Every structure is written in C-alpha cells, then in structure tokens.
C-alpha cells in the first residue's frame, strides 16, 4: 500500500460513520459491495461494526474503498491514493473469482399475477431461488426480521448473524432433499428509494425487478437456508415454491413481518416491536432511527454487552406508554422529537456511563436497562413542567444509586422480560424522587 494501512483504516472508519447514518447511502453501499462480489458476511460485519475494517483482507479493503469513493464521490477516497497498480489488479482478480455464474439485475418473472400495486405472486424453483441467494441478490434485513445474534470472530471483530433455528433448517433440508417437502410460499421484498424497484407488464404478466433495487427476504429464511443445504445433498433437486413479491417501504415491511405467524414463532418483544400496535412503539422506533442510543436499543428481551446495548425496545415502549399521553400521530411526533433531544442531553452529560463500550462505564447502575424507566419518567416530568434540559443533571443527581429499594427493584428478576408490577413500582419510585427535588 502507498501509505500505512492503519491510516487508511482510520479514513474509512470516519467515512463509514458518516454515510451509514443515511439509510439511502447504506443501501447504496450494500449494493456496490454486492456487485463487487464481497461476501455477504463481510458486508454485514462492515455495516454493523465499522471498526471491523481492520480485519478485512486487502482485496475487500480495496473493494470497500472503491465503494465509498463511488457512493460519496469524495476524491480523498480514490483507491489510487492508497493502493498500488499491482494491488488493485490482484484485488479485482480475487473479487471477480469469488462468485461463479452470478445472476445480476434486472431479473424477470413470467406468469406473474398482480394482487395489488405493491404485491405480486408467481413461482420459483429452489434451484433459481438459491442462485439468487448465492449471487448475493437476496439479503437478510435484520430490521424487518427476527433480529440478529452478536458473536466475535477470531480477530476479535463483532459479527452480526441471523437468528436461525438450526434444527428447523435441518428438518426442512432433509425433506427437500428426499423430495418429500410440500411446496409452500417464500416472500421477498423489493425496495429502492432511488429507482422504481419493480415494473409490471400487464399484457405479458411479467414482473421485472429493476437494477438498483434491494431484495430482502420477508418470510421463509429458514426454508431458503434449508434449500441451500438440500441442494448440497441433492444437486438435481426438483422443487418449485410459491413466490410472493412485495414492494414495501421499511416501515410497511416491518408491520407485515410482525403480522405473519410462522413455525418458528417470534419472541413476544420482537413481534410487538415489528407490529408497532401501540403509539409508544412508534416513538421507540423513532428513537432507534434518530437518537444517540438508537443502535443500543435491543430488539430482544435482553441486552448484549458485546455491542454495548443499553435497554430494550419493550422496556422503553412500556414506560412511554404509561407516562406520556399518546392519543394520535401528532403526539407521537411531538414526544419523539422531545425524547431525541432529551437523550442527547442525557448521553452528553454522562458519555462514559452510556458508552457503547461496557468497559468504559464506571457506574453500571446508571446504565442498567430498567433505569431507562426512570429516565422516561424524568423526561415526562421535565416536559410537563417546562424545565430546561440544561438542568437535567440536577435531577439525575437526585437519584440515590445506592438506595436498597431501588437496587431491589432493578435486580429482583434476573431476566428483563416484563414483570408489570416491578415496572409500575419503578415508575412510582422515580415519580416520587423527581417530585421531591427542589428546583435550582
């Protein structure tokens, strides 16, 4: 490399942190990396943890640099500044050889019926479905699926992996490979904010997924994985599946997945998060997208220290539902905006305690997942009494973090799965604390 690799990594991390805040640019990066044949697991690792660039082989590092240069058009990211001609040539050879017989967009589905303007149905062979997946055209979007598990790789980097029931995949694969699997339905979602994701020809009943669209699997990930395994055992497998193609935006896709009943039942917390039936769910969804702790709000009923999660979607939604009076969409928008600002002051006042790195946190009581019930109570108290957020620290300091009653409430249950009595007692506890604080 023309300059020290560590310096290149720093530049790439800085740029990634900027562009990944935009869902539009995030999708563009995913598409570009897929077109460069960067493996899906590498892409997921880069998107979920920008620091993982230090673990990338030179060809993938080059591919990432080229992608960011293409997406941002920032001359600082021109690969020629960092990689020699020989390195570039070797990297492009390695990347071009990583996928054989790769399918590219656009792709066409004949004998396709339009159900609604954003919903279509057709059929697809398991062979072609797996080819689409192997070509990295079908992605697993954890925000519209079951979520992810977090693991560390051999280099110490954090990798996001889909939540998969391996025994279920094996059962499906065995039945498919032995030709005893009854055809059922796979649902894909095709989305783009840049181009028309699909085009439908009424005369020929042909649906085209256009170049630039992103395809994610909405329902059937276990069956898709089963198909991958089954074809390894029986390469001549002849099975056709019903294929439902949707063209939903992000929020609609989440609600659709929350509606589906599958064999591998969703955990209650994740189902409620996706369905967003309570107005408070919509507020928390906005916090996930806009607030400083957005990525630290867990979708499951527990937090992962590995990625620095602080609290859960369910805990926040429960507290907001109880203390804020949400009656219509206007209340959702107003409350969301206020809480985003409140969180900015909270995290800004105590950056170490809410750090994404658990090691940096000094007082782990402050970052206890159930403490966020207290912070929501405080936000409502300050909002109702028109107390400037600049005074937030004054009220936080009024919490006795060594109070035995508080510690008992926080630690009474080993799991965070909703015990309503504990949550209601915490709301009453913090309400009493903050109402007893004398204003400055």
pLDDT digits (tens, 9 = 90+) for 45-102: 788 788 888 888 888 899 999 999 999 988 989 999 999 998 999 888 887 765 555 7
Work out the pLDDT band at 233, boundaries 50, 70, 90: confident
Work out the pLDDT band at 391, boundaries 50, 70, 90: very high
Q: What angle do helix axes 420-435 and 371-384 make, rounded to 10 degrees?
A: 40
- The 10 Å CB-count burial string (b at 16+, else e) for 153-184 is eeeebbbbebbeeeebbeebbeebbeeebeee
Q: Is 346 exposed, middle or buried (0-12, 13-18, 19+ CB in 10 A)?
A: buried
Give which of 344, 335, 429 is closest to 392, Cα–Cα.
344
Mean pLDDT of 194-219: 92
Q: Any idea which residue has 């935009």 for tokens?
A: 22
Which residues lie closer than 8 Å to 237 by C-beta, 6 or more apart?
A: 126, 127, 176, 177, 179, 230, 231
Q: Any idea which residue has 């973090």 for tokens?
A: 401
**What span, in angstroms and rounded, lies between the C-alpha atoms of 19 and 237?**
42
**What span, in angstroms and rounded, lies between the C-alpha atoms of 170 and 126?**
16
**Total count of residues recorded for the chain:** 440
Contact of 375 with 346, CB cutoff 8 Å = yes
| Three-class secondary structure of residue 350 per DSSP | coil
**Which pLDDT belongs to residue 271?**
55
Share of the chain above pLDDT 90, in %: 52
Give which of 303, 274, 322 is closest to 425, Cα–Cα.
322
Contact of 280 with 321, CB cutoff 8 Å = yes
User: Alpha helix locations (H) across 141-267?
Assistant: 166-177, 221-233, 250-259
Q: What is the DSSP string of 1-15?
A: --S-HHHHHHHHHHH
Question: How is the chain split into domains, by residue range?
Answer: 5-96, 107-259, 275-435
**Which pLDDT belongs to residue 418?**
62
Which residues lie closer than 8 Å to 378 by C-beta, 6 or more apart?
A: 392, 395, 396, 430, 434
**Which pLDDT belongs to residue 262?**
46
**Which pLDDT belongs to residue 264?**
47
**What span, in angstroms and rounded, lies between the C-alpha atoms of 302 and 159?**
18
Q: Which residue has the higher pLDDT, 214 or 159?
A: 214
Give which of 113, 239, 250, 122 is closest to 193, Cα–Cα.
250
**What span, in angstroms and rounded, lies between the C-alpha atoms of 428 and 422?**
10
**Which pLDDT belongs to residue 142?**
66
Can you read off the two tokens belonging to residue 174? 């065995």
**Which pLDDT belongs to residue 270?**
57
Share of the chain above pLDDT 70, in %: 88
Work out the pLDDT band at 144, boundaries 50, 70, 90: very low
Over residues 335-377, the pLDDT tens digits come to 999 999 999 999 999 999 999 999 999 999 999 999 999 999 9
Q: Which residue has the higher pLDDT, 123 or 20?
A: 123
Q: Which residue has the higher pLDDT, 212 or 143?
A: 212
**Which pLDDT belongs to residue 342?**
97
Query: Beta strands 138-139 and 214-219: pairing type?
Result: parallel
CA 352 to each of CA 91, 176, 340, 362, 374: distance values in angstroms, whole numbers, following the listed order? 40, 51, 19, 7, 19
What mean pLDDT value characterizes the chain?
A: 86
Residue 40 reports pLDDT greater than 50: yes
**What span, in angstroms and rounded, lies between the C-alpha atoms of 235 and 314?**
44
Sheet holding 138-139, edge to edge: 113-116, 119-125, 240-246, 185-191, 214-219, 138-139
**Which pLDDT belongs to residue 375?**
98
Residue 36 reports pLDDT greater than 90: no
Q: Is the pTM of this model over 0.95?
A: no
Give which of 342, 368, 341 is closest to 354, Cα–Cα.
368
Residue 239 reports pLDDT greater than 80: yes
């Amino acid at each position: 490399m023309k300059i020290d690799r560590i310096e290149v990594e720093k530049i790439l991390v800085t740029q990634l942190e900027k562009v990944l805040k935009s869902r539009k640019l995030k999708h563009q990066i995913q598409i570009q990396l897929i077109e460069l044949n960067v493996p899906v697991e590498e892409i997921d690792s880069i998107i979920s943890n920008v620091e993982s660039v230090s673990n990338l082989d030179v060809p993938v590092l080059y591919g990432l640099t080229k992608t960011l240069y293409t997406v941002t058009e920032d001359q600082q990211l021109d690969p020629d500044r960092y990689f020699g001609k020989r390195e570039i040539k070797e990297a492009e050879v390695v990347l071009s050889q990583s996928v054989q017989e790769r399918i590219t967009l656009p792709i066409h589905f004949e004998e396709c019926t339009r159900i609604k303007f954003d919903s279509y149905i057709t059929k697809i062979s398991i062979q072609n479905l797996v080819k689409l997946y192997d070509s990295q055209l079908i992605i697993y979007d954890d925000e519209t699926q079951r979520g992810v598990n977090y693991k560390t790789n051999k280099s110490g980097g954090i990798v996001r992996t889909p939540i998969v029931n391996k025994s279920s995949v094996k059962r499906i694969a065995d039945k498919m490979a032995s030709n005893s699997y009854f055809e059922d339905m796979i649902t894909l979602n095709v989305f783009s904010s840049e181009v028309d994701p699909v085009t439908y020809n009424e005369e020929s009943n042909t649906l085209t997924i256009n170049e630039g669209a992103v395809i994610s699997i909405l329902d059937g990930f276990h069956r898709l994985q089963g198909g991958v395994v089954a074809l390894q055992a029986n390469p001549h497998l002849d099975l056709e599946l019903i294929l439902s193609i949707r063209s939903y935006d992000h929020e609609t896709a989440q609600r659709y997945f929350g509606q589906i009943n599958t064999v591998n039942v969703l955990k209650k917390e994740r189902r409620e998060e996706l369905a967003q039936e309570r107005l408070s769910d919509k507020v928390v969804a906005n916090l996930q997208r806009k607030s400083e702790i957005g990525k630290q709000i867990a979708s499951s009923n527990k937090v992962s220290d590995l990625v620095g999660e602080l609290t859960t979607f369910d805990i926040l939604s429960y507290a907001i539902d109880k203390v804020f009076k949400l009656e219509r969409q206007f209340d959702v928008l107003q409350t969301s905006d206020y809480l985003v600002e409140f969180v900015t002051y909270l995290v800004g006042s105590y950056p170490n305690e809410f750090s994404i790195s658990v090691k940096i946190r000094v007082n782990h009581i402050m970052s206890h997942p159930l403490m966020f019930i207290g912070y929501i109570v405080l936000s409502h108290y300050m909002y109702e009494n028109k107390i400037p957020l600049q005074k937030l620290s004054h009220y936080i300091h009024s919490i006795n973090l060594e109070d035995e009653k508080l510690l008992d409430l926080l630690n009474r249950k080993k799991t965070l799965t909703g015990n309503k009595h504990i949550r209601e007692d915490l709301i009453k506890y913090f309400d009493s604390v903050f109402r007893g604080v004398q204003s400055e």
